[in-house]
Chain A
Amino acid sequence: GAGVSQSPRYKVAKRGQDVALRCDPISGHVSLFWYQQALGQGPEFLTYFQNEAQLDKSGLPSDRFFAERPEGSVSTLKIQRTQQEDSAVYLCASSLVSVGRMNSPLHFGNGTRLTVT
């Protein structure tokens, strides 16, 4: 596609529910990142994929957070037993080249705004 697509745009979940957020990166992009952006804050790194391999998940805040990219394209971020502190915008970004190319630009989607009530 023309850009990184994320769905849904908005998600309201009751505390304790599980949610799944989807990211369609730009076709052919090798690298995929997930970020969490709380209100009034900058984005915080969650996890990184190179193709289907999850190379870094050091930013995932707890074991309730899980991400996958089984075929090296679409990625899903799953949050189990959601808590109020999970409320944030979840941003996905993709990049054409792989880990060695530090200066390749990241292309961001518009994000999914998750509200946990």
Chain B
Amino acid sequence: KQEVTQIPAALSVPEGENLVLNCSFTDSAIYNLQWFRQDPGKGLTSLLLIQSSQREQTSGRLNASLDKSSGRSTLYIAASQPGDSATYLCASRGGYSTLTFGKGTMLLVSP
């Protein structure tokens, strides 16, 4: 059974810092790896999706990388802003209905 782990569980940084969130998964037979953002009391917003054949994806200040062989993905956030404060979840897609989530990293960016 796929297991997804996210480190750290929580992170607090001052505004303007660059930061890296880590995600690891035990089964490398995945179709893709997705990063989501979840604000308190809200659903999940998809940020980036990396297909298994890709190494990275970029959207604005966000860059996600994928190393399938080592079972790792990272989400890099450049020049962090208070509005980036949220919980970030990674999820691996192992089949048509199988999206396995980590527990998330709770990020707080202080002004």
CA distance A91 to B89 in the complex (A): 14
A99 contacts the other chain (Cβ, under 8 Å)? Answer: yes
Q: Point out the residues of chain B lying under 8 angstroms from A108, CB to CB.
A: 36, 43-45
- Between A40, A55, A106, A113, the greatest number of chain B beta carbons within 10 A of the residue's beta carbon is seen for A106
Interface string of A81-117 (1 = CB under 8 A from B): 0000000000101000001101101111111010000
- Are A110 and B41 neighbours in the complex by a CB distance under 8 Å? yes
Give A100 to B95 CA distance when docked, in angstroms: 9
Select one of A33, A44, A91, A102 contacting B32, CB under 8 A. A102
Per the CB 8 Å criterion, the residue count for chain B at the interface is: 25
Query: Closest chain B residue to A56 by CB distance?
Result: B97
**A105/B96 in contact, CB under 8 A:** no
B21 within 8 A of A: no
B101 lies within 8 A of A33 (CB) = no
How long is the Cα–Cα vector from A18 to B42 in the complex, in angstroms? 24
The dominant DSSP class at the A interface is loop
Interface of B is mostly: strand
* Chain A: number of interface residues, binned into ranges: 20 to 34
B96 partner residues in chain A, CB cutoff 8 A: 48, 55-56, 99-100, 102
Chain B residues contacting A99 (CB-CB under 8 Å) are 96-97
Which residues on the A side are within 8 Å of B34 (C-beta)? 105
A109 touches B43 (CB 8 A): yes
For residue B41, which residue of chain A has the nearest CB? A110
Q: Is B99 an interface residue (CB 8 A)?
A: yes
Chain B, Cβ-Cβ closest to A55: B97
Q: Say whether B58 faces chain A, with CB atoms less than 8 Å apart.
A: no
Q: Is the CB of B32 within 8 A of A103?
A: yes
Q: A42-B4, A48-B97, A100-B96 are in contact. List 10 more A-B contacts (CB 8 A).
A: A33-B97, A42-B91, A45-B99, A55-B96, A56-B97, A102-B31, A102-B93, A103-B49, A110-B41, A110-B42
